[in-house]
Amino acid sequence: MESRAWQAAMLHLREGLSLKEVAKVLRERPKWCGQRVNEVLDLYEPPGVIHGRRGVLASDGERVQCHVCGRWYAHLGAHVRMKHDMEADEYKREFGLMSKTGLISPELAEKRRKHKHLEAYRESSRERMKALSAEEQSRRASQQDLREERRLDPAYQAHVRRLSELGPEALERARAEGRYRESGFSEEATRNGQRAIAHLRKDESYRAWVSRRISEGKAAGGGMSEEVRQSFREGASERAREADRDELGRFSRRSSEREEP
């Protein structure tokens, strides 16, 4: 016996509706996505048609729409993998969605957030990201392309407008007035640092301090003391960094005072 959905499709055709109109009616009833109903949709839909809008994942709250076939699913990721032979990342790149956009409905996403068993996976993902080196994190960030979904974000568009309104002339004025500078150290700070380093290298007490620290490290059985190695592993405490800066600053000031005429 033929399905009720197929019978309904044939009834619409017999009533004089066009194939396009029948396809529209069937798409509005996603529960009618049987084998033969899908055949009707495939007859009408020409290849290469994108359903919906690039950069936007259409949703009615309970389901999201597939850009490939136009049908609606709660778990779109599973659908595109099984029916269209596309992985989630490939699908997002193809249709301009950001990598963090989930291919599931808002209702299903809310249900998943309530499931505690997913917390272990989230924690595992966070730990994997923390384990990446700074170079790897930088590389990943530089490879993130700007997707259409981001371009359509009103906050991002307002940010771009502010930058374009600033213009090169206003930027130069802000630079001259000290209200803006590029990231990194200024040229003056770099020159001051180079002068301070030159003074320190000539300072006998500073050189003796460096030699003492090196000797302590060698005595501990390595190129640096266990205390220093631990500070590198765990991130040197602010108190230790402040102490080192104060000591270096005292060396630099004494060296500068001796060189003054």
Query: Which long-range contacts (C-beta less than 8 Å, at least 24 apart) are formed by 122-127?
Result: none
Q: What is the CATH number of the domain that holds 104?
A: 1.10.10.1550
Q: Does 84 lie in the same domain as 12?
A: yes
Q: What is the C-alpha to C-alpha distance for residues 60 and 77, in angstroms, rounded to an integer? A: 16
Would you state the pLDDT for residue 76?
92
Residues 6+ apart with CB under 8 A from 199: 251, 252, 255, 256, 259
Residue 58 is part of which domain span? 4-111
Q: Does 152 lie in the same domain as 223?
A: no
CB 118 within 8 A of CB 104: no
Q: What is the C-alpha to C-alpha distance for residues 254 and 200, in angstroms, rounded to an integer? A: 9
Of 50, 62, 74, 77, nearest to 148 by C-alpha is 50
* Residue indicated by tokens 């779109």: 76
Query: Which long-range contacts (C-beta less than 8 Å, at least 24 apart) are formed by 56-62?
Result: 56/148, 56/149, 56/152, 57/97, 57/101, 57/103, 57/149, 59/105, 59/106, 61/105, 61/106, 61/107, 62/105, 62/107
54 inside domain: yes
28 inside domain: yes
Would you state the pLDDT for residue 236?
44
- The domain boundary residue, chosen from 92, 111, 130: 111
| Rounded mean pLDDT for each run of 10 residues along the chain, 261 residues in total | 56 61 63 54 59 88 89 90 86 88 89 71 67 69 62 77 69 69 61 76 79 70 54 50 59 56 50
228 inside domain: yes
Q: Does 197 lie in the same domain as 165?
A: no
Q: Does 162 lie in the same domain as 104?
A: no
133 inside domain: no
161 inside domain: yes
Q: How many domains does the chain have?
A: 3
Q: Does 173 lie in the same domain as 105?
A: no
CB 87 within 8 A of CB 97: no
Q: Does 237 lie in the same domain as 165?
A: no
25 inside domain: yes
Supply the DSSP symbol for 65: E
* Residue indicated by tokens 């989630």: 88
Cα torsion 161, 166, 171, 172: sign: positive
Would you state the pLDDT for residue 2?
46
43 inside domain: yes
- The domain boundary residue, chosen from 159, 181, 203: 181
pTM over 0.95: no
